[in-house]
Structure formats: structure tokens, C-alpha cells
Structure 1
């Protein structure tokens, strides 16, 4: 797969250009957004007090970690580095698997996620960016409003990014379209599968319930906020060793939980690069997984960073 970021998202001559939005969300989709965003968040808020004496077993922890990595890497490796930026090419079975894994993070179908993210890169930190924290000014009140908007407020906007403009390659990919259509069922699966496994392992309904809560609701909520923190925190504070045309920064405390996505400065300086954490000590588990796939021959044409490229991009 080749990246269509340049020809599909750059804001060039308006003549003949497709509109930015393809319409607005339906009432049903708006209700679904509130349910699947606020529902897991409510579970996260309840998690700490409920953990004391309510039920948290090693089975719940193991299932939570497994599904966190399974769905999270589906977003970072699949949705982001493969589908959005074309950082590598994947064989068809792996491509489909990554699309399924990403869908189970409950962050929208791959076509929608990619269209939104390519629009973010096309208009990063300026008008048109769906989730920049800098759209309302630089005063404390404006930045507080911007942080909320960048973190999760933008999700409740009703305008739908035009997928034909920003993701025409995915709209022409029959496999991705099929997975996108299966998104409601994959959303159900991401909550039901932990419950089923928890019930079977513990051989109890209580085990199914606690697995549903911890490995389903709480895991999805934590993954949501880790992903959204890349939009908000990583465009506000952190180090900027590489030159980019926006305020994308590296925020090391999120590196492990975000699978390397919080090394955000290099990513915006060189979006198609398969590795984001390129300096000494910068752990990037997404890049490591791509490296493993490459060793097995499941991916090809990986766009690894080079010393010459990094030197050119360095602010020094």
C-alpha cells in the first residue's frame, strides 16, 4: 500500500476538490457515540472504588492486558502506520487482521478513523484540524477549552469527514470496506469475548461479569484516553527535537501505554516513517511488532528511518 496522504489531504487548489465533510452523523450514530464513549468512561471512573473488595482477579488482569495490546496495536500498527500513512505493505491476511484488531478498540471503523487522521495531518494545529488544542487561542481559558476539544470534545461533533476525499484508497479496498461494515459486530465482540473467556476460565458467571467489566469496559476506556492523549497532551507539552510545521511533541510518560505513539514529534516531522521513537531509549513497541512482521515476511517495503533523514529533520 502506498500513502495517499499527499494527494488526498493536502489543501491545494480548490478547483474540483471534494468537500471536507460528507454530511452529518445520524441520530442513531450520535447516540452510539455517547454510549460507547461515555459508557466505558463511567466504568473507568467506577473502577478504583469497585476494585476494593468487589472483584479483580489475575484472570481479569491477564485478559485486560491481552485485549489492551490486541486492540491497541491494531490501532497503532494497523489503523495508523499501515492504513493512514502507508509506512509498510502488509500481506492480505495480516492487513485484514490488523483492521479487525483496530476495530475492536471501538474508535470507529478503519475508513472513518483514517479519514479523520489524514485530515488532522493535512491541517495540523490550524483551521480544519479535527482535534487541535490550539484552535481557540493561547490564553489559559482558551487552552483549557482546546485541551478538552482535542482530547475528546471533537468526537461529539456531528460533521463527518469526507472519506472519498481523505481515504479514497481505503474506500476502494473491498477487504477494508467489509471490515468497516462489520464494525458494530466487532464492537460487540470486544466486550463479549473477554466475558466469555473469563466465564470459561473461572467456570462461573461472576468470572464472566468481572472480565466484562475489567477487560471489556475499563480496558476500552483506558485505551480511548491513551489514544486521545496523543491528540491533546502531545500537541501541547513535550520535547521537539525534529522540525515539523505544527506543535507535535514527544511526551515520554505515555510511551509504553501508547505503544510508541507519544514520540509524536518525529511522526509529524516524517509521517510515513514506520518508527516514531528513533532516539536512544525511546521504546516503540509498534515499530518492534512491524520489525517482527518483516522478519517473518508478512510485511514489506517498511519505511525505516535513516541517519541521513533524521539529520535533515533535526532542529540542530
Structure 2
């Protein structure tokens, strides 16, 4: 029996217009009224996640920054797993050999290393990545990251060096790497994965998300539910991108990929629901509650 549902936000709970449909909202409310805990599991920061759901009051908890933090429904910090300074230096060194932009995520602010001109050049690269994602959206049906990139551009500031950033005392939870060439990102990804205690995933075809190895959605979700007396077989997970891979590939009771998900994620999931523009979360939840889980297409 499923007692917990954990869902990604972008490309999963939200449609391509980044809106929560009435169908998805009703299905979540129905699940919670049935006694099922509903969790958000996202690469977003908490304050960005609640902009979607705050007025809806739909979530019983949040796994944010791809697993680097867990937050209660009241906004209380429950756990925190920042990157080590040593690993930040190592990732930045790897990235310096490639034409990519690296954004360092703290809770209150996003940073880029360099002066104003270097930052402007990085913004130009990010625009190239935006256009590449839009092309991919047309060709594959996968979501593009325009709104996310625009949001990051508004709040990213330049700092001269990593040491200057560390003097501010704010932990870095995630490195967000953006490039305009998928092959280059794949090469960089292979290098980064050689660094101990690092996890690398992606939410779009033109980015990498670097966190501590323990800060992965699936691992953090397991800790969260077990601390509350639930078992993995009692959990349904829903996602669409490779930063959802850990919670889709782990042996949770019901694992569901969106129809618009990356192919590797679909292969890892036990079921595939409808597209995010067709209320795929609602379809999966309603099938579960109606006792017709088999109606969700098997991979």
C-alpha cells in the first residue's frame, strides 16, 4: 500500500508553461485526504519551490536543491548537505577547461567567479544554451529551461575568487553548470564523476547539477521516509529528468516517469504516465487511488 508520494516540480507537476493544473491539484488533494503524505522533490531552492505551491498548501515536506536540503511543511530546515570546499575547487578546476558557465548556489544568492566582463560573457554562453534547449524542445518534446535561466540571471552576482565567496560564510549546496554543447558537457561530466563524494545529474540537456554524493533525491527521500516509519515499498516517486534518476531507479514501491521524461529515466521507471501537459501526475495518482495502477503504461 502506498503511503507517500514524492514528485518533482518542473516538467512533472508543472506543465510546460510552468503552471500547476487544476487536475494535478485535485489529485494531490485527493491523495492527502486519503491519508497519503505528499512530498515535493526538486532541484529548486525552497523559496523557489514554494512560489509554486505556497498558496496551494499541498506539500507535507520538501526535498530541495536535488537533495541538499530537506524542509518541513512549515519551512523548518530538517537536514542540510553542502559541498565541501575541496570538492568545489576540484569541480571548478575541471570546468575551467571547458566553455561553460558555473553558478554556485547558496541559499540566499547565486554567484559566478570573475569580474563583470567575465560574468557578461558567461551570460552570453547561457543565452546560447537557452537557444539550444529551445531547439531541443521542438525536436524532442522535452521541456526547455528558459524560465529557470532567466530567474538565475536576475539573482547571480560576480565575485572575484572562490576564497572571496568562502569569506562570506554561506555554504554552497549545488554547482549549476550550463553549456551550449551537449558533447562538451558529457566530457566534463565524465571528469567530474571521478571526484570522490560528488554526485552529478542534469535537469536539462544543457546543464549539470553537482551536489555532495549524499545529496541525491532518492537517498534523501529514503532517509526522510524511514525516519517517519515508512518503508520504501510504500512510496511512489514521479519525475522527468536525470536529477530524478536516483528516486526513480531505487527500489521504491511505484516509480513513474513522465511521458516527456528523458529516455534513460523511462527505462529505469516501473511505469510511464502521460505528458506533463496532459496532467501526468494526476493520471498516475488517480490510477493508484482507484486501484488501477496497472492502467499506467509499463515501461
Task: Assess same fold via TM > 0.5.
Answer: no
The structure where strand makes up a greater share of residues is 2
Q: TM-score range, shorter-chain basis?
A: under 0.3
Q: When the two structures are superposed, what TM-score results if normalisation uses the length of structure 1?
A: 0.26
Q: When the two structures are superposed, what TM-score results if normalisation uses the length of structure 2?
A: 0.27
